[in-house]
Chain A
Amino acid sequence: MSSADTAPKLPLPLREGVGGRGPVREETPFRRFVSEFAASHIAVAGLIIFVLIGVAAIFASLIAPQNPYDLAQLDIMDGRLPPGSASSTGYTYLLGTDDQGRDMLSGILYGLRISLGVGVGSALIACVVGTSLGLFAAYIGGRTDAAIMRLVDLQLSFPSILVALMILAVLGKGVMNVVLALVIVEWAYYTRTVRASALVERRREYIEAAECLALPRRRIIFRHLLPNCLPPLIVIATQQVARAIALEATLSFLGLGVPITEPSLGLLIANGYQYMLSGKYWISFYPGIALLVTIVSINLVGDQLRDVLNPRLKR
Chain B
Amino acid sequence: MTTWLIRRLIQALFVVLAMSVIVFIGVHVIGNPVDILISPEADQAERARIIASLGLDQPLWKQYVLFVDDALRGDLGRSFVFNEPALRLIAQRMPATLELAVTAVLMSMLFGIPLGLYAGLYPDGVVARTIMAGSILGFSLPTFWVGLMLIMVFAVQLGWLPSTGRGATAELFGIQWSFLTLDGLRHLLLPALNLSLFNISLVLRLVRAGVRETLPMDFVKFARAKGLAPARVIFVHVLKNIMIPVVTVVGLELGSTIAFAVVTESVFAWPGMGKLIIDSINVLDRPVIVAYLMMIVLLFVTINLVVDLLYTLLDPRVRLEAKG
Q: Do A and B contact each other directly (Cβ–Cβ < 8 Å)?
A: yes
Contacts of B255 in A (CB 8 A): 159
Cα A154 to Cα B149 in complex, Å, equals 34
Grouping DSSP codes into helix (H, G, I), strand (E, B) and loop, the B interface class, with mixed when no group exceeds half, is helix
Cα A167 to Cα B260 in complex, Å, equals 16
State whether B260 touches A171 (Cβ < 8 A).
no
> Interface size on A (CB < 8 Å)?
38
State whether A269 touches B148 (Cβ < 8 A).
yes
Cα A219 to Cα B304 in complex, Å, equals 40
Kindly state whether residue B151 has any CB partner on chain A within 8 Å: yes
Minimum distance in angstroms from A46 CB to a CB of chain B: 11
Contacts of B155 in A (CB 8 A): 277
Per-residue CB proximity of B258-289 to A under 8 Å, as 1/0? 01101100110000000001100110000001
Among A161, A170, A273, the residue within 8 A (CB) of B259 is: A161
Q: Which of B142, B259, B266 has the most CB of A within 10 A?
A: B142
Cα A303 to Cα B145 in complex, Å, equals 22
Q: Apart from A154-B15, A170-B26, A170-B31, list 19 A-B contacts with CB within 8 A.
A: A154-B18, A157-B300, A158-B300, A159-B260, A161-B256, A161-B260, A162-B296, A167-B26, A249-B142, A249-B145, A253-B142, A254-B263, A276-B151, A276-B152, A285-B152, A292-B145, A295-B142, A296-B136, A299-B140
Kindly state whether residue A165 has any CB partner on chain B within 8 Å: yes
| A interface with B by C-beta (< 8 Å) | 154, 157-159, 161-162, 165-171, 242, 246, 249-250, 253-256, 266, 269, 273, 276-277, 279, 281, 284-285, 288, 291-292, 295-296, 299-300, 303
Among residues of A, the one whose C-beta sits closest to the C-beta of B18 is: A154
Query: A269-B145, A284-B148 are known contacts. Are A159 and B259 too (CB-CB below 8 A)?
Result: yes
Contacts of B163 in A (CB 8 A): 277
Among residues of B, the one whose C-beta sits closest to the C-beta of A293 is: B140
Among A165, A170, A279, the residue within 8 A (CB) of B30 is: A170
Among B140, B148, B156, the residue within 8 A (CB) of A288 is: B148
Among residues of A, the one whose C-beta sits closest to the C-beta of B256 is: A159
Kindly state whether residue B313 has any CB partner on chain A within 8 Å: no
Query: A157-B300, A285-B152 are known contacts. Are A291 and B145 too (CB-CB below 8 A)?
Result: yes
Cα A246 to Cα B138 in complex, Å, equals 13
State whether B144 touches A253 (Cβ < 8 A).
yes
Q: What are 7 A-B contacts with C-beta separation under 8 Å?
A: A158-B259, A249-B145, A254-B144, A276-B152, A276-B156, A281-B156, A295-B142
Minimum distance in angstroms from A31 CB to a CB of chain B: 28
Cα A314 to Cα B274 in complex, Å, equals 43
Contacts of A159 in B (CB 8 A): 255-256, 259-260
Per-residue CB proximity of B131-161 to A under 8 Å, as 1/0? 0000011011111110011011001100000
State whether B259 touches A242 (Cβ < 8 A).
no
State whether B282 touches A255 (Cβ < 8 A).
yes
